[in-house]
Every structure is written in C-alpha cells, then in structure tokens.
Structure 1
Amino acid sequence: MTEVSFTQMKDGTQADYVFLEQLEDDHIKGLPGRIMKALAGLSDGLAGYKIDRLHHSLQTATRAEDEGASIDWIVAALVHDIGDELAPLSHAEFAAALLKPFVSDEIVWVVEKHGLFQAYYYAHHVGGDRHARDQYKDHPFYDQCVHFCEAWDQASFDPTYPTRSLDHFEPMVREVFSRRAH
C-alpha cells in the first residue's frame, strides 16, 4: 500500500489506519532531526540583539549544562525559543507543547510560562507590568521558573560567553525526543 483508499476519514478501513499508524511512527522517529533543523533556522530570525536566536538558545542551554542541570532541563533550555519563528506571539506555549510528551510537568510549565516571567526584566520599559508573574507566586514551579529566567534565559545575550555548538547538544536532543511519549 502506498496511500489510503479513502477521501474522507469516515470511509477508512482498518488496513488504511494500520498503514497510516506505521507512517506516523516513522514520522515521529524523524522528530529529533526536524528539531535540529528548526534550531539551526533560528540563526536567521529576530534581529536587534547582540546575538541571534540560535546563539541565544545555545547559550541558554550551555548555562543550564554548566550549572549541572539534567539533560531534560538542558534540552528545554535549548528549545525554549524554538517557536519564535512560527509562533512569535505564543512562542513559549509552542515550545512547551513540543516538550510536553517527553519531559516532566515542571519543565513544561516553566517553558510555557518563561515568556511571562521574562517580562520582569523589560516590561516596565515598554508600558507593561513587570510583576505579572506574581499571579503564579503560590505555584509549586514558580521558583524554578524565576531561576530558569534569571540564571539561564535573561543572561544569555552575551557574545563573549563561551557557548557550546549545536552539534554538542544534538545527542541530547536526539535522546529526549526519541523517548517513548508519556
């Protein structure tokens, strides 16, 4: 079989859906490669900073690794802004959705909320509320999100920081995104 028999899903057969399930499994196995390609594409993204978005992502992951963070946190730090190209107004949620099947709820929450928490550093300069993150003050992952932003994310715009390459992080990306989804 090279394609399904139906033109409407309701008309599909068991053979059609078994065939599609195998193709989907194969497609999912290619996810780490597509993530690496998307990360590399961040080098052509949003301008104006001293470093490009790829370098920022690499530097954020390098800081996480330098601190001794787990592989899950390092990969989360690496992909936290992967949505900048396709979902610039919801990039954090985009990255969290990408990570959700593969990492802990804590990491997903931190990545999902990091955009709001990052506003602490700049919102007051552009008419926003830098304390908007305080709505989550009692959340069990609040302190970890503050740390993610303070120690890794907001600090990672330094062109002189010794930053590891995308090749360095590739095995970690492949390990995390090749796991059986939970």
Structure 2
Amino acid sequence: MKTVSFTQMKNGTKQDYDLLAEAEKPYHGLTADRIFAELRRQGEDTLSGYKITRLEHGLQSATRARREGADIDWIVGALLHDVGDGLAPQNHDRFSAEVIRPFVRDEVAWVVEHHGIFQMIYYAHHYGWDGNARDRFKDHMHFQACADFCERWDQSSFDPDYEYDPLESFEPLVRDVFARKAYDPSVLQTGVSKGLPPLS
C-alpha cells in the first residue's frame, strides 16, 4: 500500500495529498456502516435509569417522525439525535449534530445541536436549573422546529410499550443521506426553515 512521503503535514506534497484524498474515499463510503455499528452498540445497554435502551429511544423518535409524514432529513435526524451519547455524554447534542451536519438540511442539524437545552424545559426545575434556558434562542428561525421536535418526537420516546419500526426499516434512508455529497448547498439549504410536518 502506498503511503505519503512526510512525517509532518507541513512537508506534504500535492502528490501526497492527492494520494490521501483517493485513499480516504472508501473510508468515507463506509460512514453509514459505522453509524449502524454504533446504533447496534447502543441497543446493548439500557439508558441508565430509563426503561429502554438508547437505540430504542432513537427508533421511537424516528418512528414518530416517519408516522407524522416527516421528510428523510427529519427522520434520520430523529434516529441519530442521540448517537453521540456513547462518546460525548456531556455534549451529546452537539456531537450528534456534527455527525449529520454535512449531509442534512441545516435546520435539522441546528435542531439536533440544540435539543439538549430545549429539553431542559421538562426537567430543569427538579435540579434548580433554568428550564427556560432555551429562550435565549427565541428569535432564531429554527426555535419552533426545535421546540416541536422535543415535544413530539424526543421527550415522548421513552415508552417500553410503544411499537416502533425496526432499525432495518431505516437503513435505506440512512444510507441515502450519508451517500450525499458532503456540504452540498442544495442539501444544506442554509436559511430555510420548513419546520416539522403539521399534525393532522
């Protein structure tokens, strides 16, 4: 296998970096596989103190999104909104957002990034914290989408009796999203706020 000529990045040549760009393509192509491996790992341990696993929580959230007629970005965002829990439990929301950010609408990445502070409205008072901390974003274009995401799909998805769709049913959607060109402006749609689908 060919390798670069340098031991310090600053000494790399164009040929070195062309080689790396080509060598990284297969790895990038396996991103969805790594996502599924992490989701399956999350199915092996129960959320500490909760009645379900992390995987079940993601599946419930994504199932609710799909059943309400959400588009592919919202469904994948709902499935993966807590994918960062394992490696970044203190800032899982931001970690999870960075996983999906290159491949989904900016609105969805913003909501995933901020859902942690928005969720505080449900429990912060029990710890003496500010449950309205999310109000600092009240003038943001995605505020309502994040509030709705938390209310309709996230906070309600800790139910061991909820009949959710299996992980395999989401696989085509996840693979489609992660097969997109990273940071494609037509996908990111920066400045667009569609919100969640209206409730029927």
Note whether the superposition's TM-score is higher than 0.5. Answer: yes
- Between the aligned partners of 2:164 and 2:107, the Cα distance in structure 1 is 26
2:31 equivalent to 1:28: no
The answer to whether the Cα contact below 8 Å between 1:75 and 1:172 also exists between their aligned partners in 2 is yes
CA-based RMSD: 1.1
SS of 1:25's partner is: helix
The answer to whether the Cα contact below 8 Å between 1:56 and 1:157 also exists between their aligned partners in 2 is yes
2:3 equivalent to 1:3: yes
2:187 equivalent to 1:162: no
Residue type of the alignment partner of 2:169: H
The answer to whether the Cα contact below 8 Å between 1:45 and 1:85 also exists between their aligned partners in 2 is no
- Between the aligned partners of 1:17 and 1:45, the Cα distance in structure 2 is 43
The answer to whether the Cα contact below 8 Å between 1:82 and 1:95 also exists between their aligned partners in 2 is yes
Match of 1:109 in 2: 110
Q: Structure 2 unaligned segments of length 5 or more: list them.
A: 184-200
- Between the aligned partners of 2:142 and 2:14, the Cα distance in structure 1 is 44
Equivalence map 1:15-54=2 (5 Å) = 15-43=15-43, 44=45, 46-54=47-55
- Between the aligned partners of 1:109 and 1:16, the Cα distance in structure 2 is 35
SS of 2:61's partner is: helix
Would you identify which runs of 4 or more consecutive aligned residues in structure 1 move more than 4 Å?
none
1:46 CA displacement:
3.3
The answer to whether the Cα contact below 8 Å between 2:46 and 2:52 also exists between their aligned partners in 1 is no
Match of 1:61 in 2: 62
Q: Which has the higher helix share?
A: 1
Match of 1:139 in 2: 140
Residue type of the alignment partner of 1:89: Q
> How many matched pairs?
182
- Between the aligned partners of 1:9 and 1:142, the Cα distance in structure 2 is 41
Q: Identity over the aligned pairs, expressed in percent?
A: 55
Deviations 1:99-132 (A, max 9, x none): 1111111111111100000111111111111111
2:167 equivalent to 1:174: no
The answer to whether the Cα contact below 8 Å between 1:32 and 1:173 also exists between their aligned partners in 2 is yes
Residue type of the alignment partner of 1:143: Q
- Between the aligned partners of 2:178 and 2:55, the Cα distance in structure 1 is 19
- Between the aligned partners of 1:133 and 1:5, the Cα distance in structure 2 is 50
TM-score (norm 1): 0.96
